[in-house]
Every structure is written in C-alpha cells, then in structure tokens.
C-alpha cells in the first residue's frame, strides 16, 4: 500500500516539479575560471610578488652561500685541521638552521598575505555575483557544478563586471 501512495504522489507532483524548474532562473559561476582570469586576482598576485621579491632573493642568495660554503668545506676537508673542520661544520650547521627558520617565516608570511588578498578579492567577486543575480532576477546561483548547460553560465558576466 505505501508503494502505491508513493507512485501516486510522484505522478501527481511530476508536472508541478517540471513547472517549478522551468520558472526558476539559475546561474552557474565557474570559480576556477574567475580565480584564473579576474583582473583583481592578477593585481593581487603582482602586489604580493613585489612585496615579497626582495626577501625571496635574499633567501636564494643565502641558500647559494650555504651551498658554496658546503662545497668548499668538502673540498678543503682533507687539508684542514680537525678543529678547523669541526668549526666550519658548526658554522655551516648554524647558518643552515638560520636559513631554514627564515625560509619558514617567509613561507608563513607569504601564505598569510595571499589569504588576506584572496579574501578581499573573493568578497568583491561575491558582491558582484549577488548584484548580477539581483539585477537579472536569478533565483539561484551556484558556484561550480559537475555538469551544466552553457546557457546557465554567468561567468563571463561576472568577469565583465569585475572589469576584465
């Protein structure tokens, strides 16, 4: 008996569901494409690159110095006294520890700045999506979908509004 009721409900509700689906205005925004093409993302990346390039170069120079010192120690190890060799090894270990610490701080600072800039851009993107949805009377806007018809894609509208 419950199975018959379920079938009866499905048959009765099918036309209603179809009508509701036709009346809904749905849009899809491809977030990955927004993150790849939005001018604000490119501007944020350039800003961060400029902000962190000096520190990055300093780290690269430190790594090169440590490598050169290590190679020199390996080359000179046979002619150095035991105490000189041990002193150079300790100096090299200290430099490497300092380098590792600075590199980790650099990575953390870079990640934090990227997150800060990204959150500002995402806030702007979401505001633009909401403005478009309200202006064009969308009932539902989704970010990403496994499949969707190209007619539902509003990514170009969002990029245009962002100033692409």
DSSP letter at 142 equals E
Nearest-angstrom CA–CA distance, 161 and 135: 12
**Which helix (DSSP H) or strand (DSSP E) does residue 26 occupy?**
strand 26-29
162 compared with 10, residue with greater pLDDT: 162
CB 155 within 8 A of CB 29: yes
pLDDT tens for residues 79-128?
888 898 899 899 999 999 999 999 999 999 999 999 999 999 999 999 99
pLDDT, position 3 = 44
Summarize pLDDT for 122-155 with one digit per residue, the tens.
999 999 999 999 999 999 999 988 999 999 999 9
- 26 and 150 in contact (C-beta within 8 Å)? no
Q: How many residues does the chain have?
A: 164
Residue 2: its pLDDT value, please?
54
DSSP structure class, residue 143? E
In this predicted model, what pLDDT tens digit does every residue of 24-33 receive, in sequence order? Answer: 999 999 999 9
In angstroms, the CA 126 to CA 130 distance is 6
The candidate with the shortest Cα–Cα distance to 119, out of 41, 3, 37, 60, is 41
């Amino acid at each position: 008996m419950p199975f018959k009721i379920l079938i009866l409900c499905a048959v009765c509700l099918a036309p209603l569901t179809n009508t509701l689906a036709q009346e809904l205005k749905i849009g899809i925004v491809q977030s990955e494409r927004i993150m790849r093409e939005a001018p604000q993302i490119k501007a944020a990346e350039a800003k961060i690159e400029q902000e962190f390039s000096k520190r990055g170069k300093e780290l690269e120079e430190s790594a090169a110095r440590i490598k050169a010192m290590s190679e020199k120690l390996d080359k000179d190890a046979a002619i150095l006294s035991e105490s000189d060799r041990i002193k150079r090894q300790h100096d090299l270990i200290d430099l490497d520890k300092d380098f590792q610490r600075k590199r980790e701080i650099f990575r953390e600072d870079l990640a934090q700045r990227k997150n800060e800039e990204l959150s500002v851009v995402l806030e702007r993107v979401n505001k633009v999506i909401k403005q478009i949805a309200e202006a064009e009377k969308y009932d539902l806007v989704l970010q990403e979908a496994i499949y969707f018809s190209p007619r539902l894609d509003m990514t170009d509208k969002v990029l245009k509004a962002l100033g692409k």
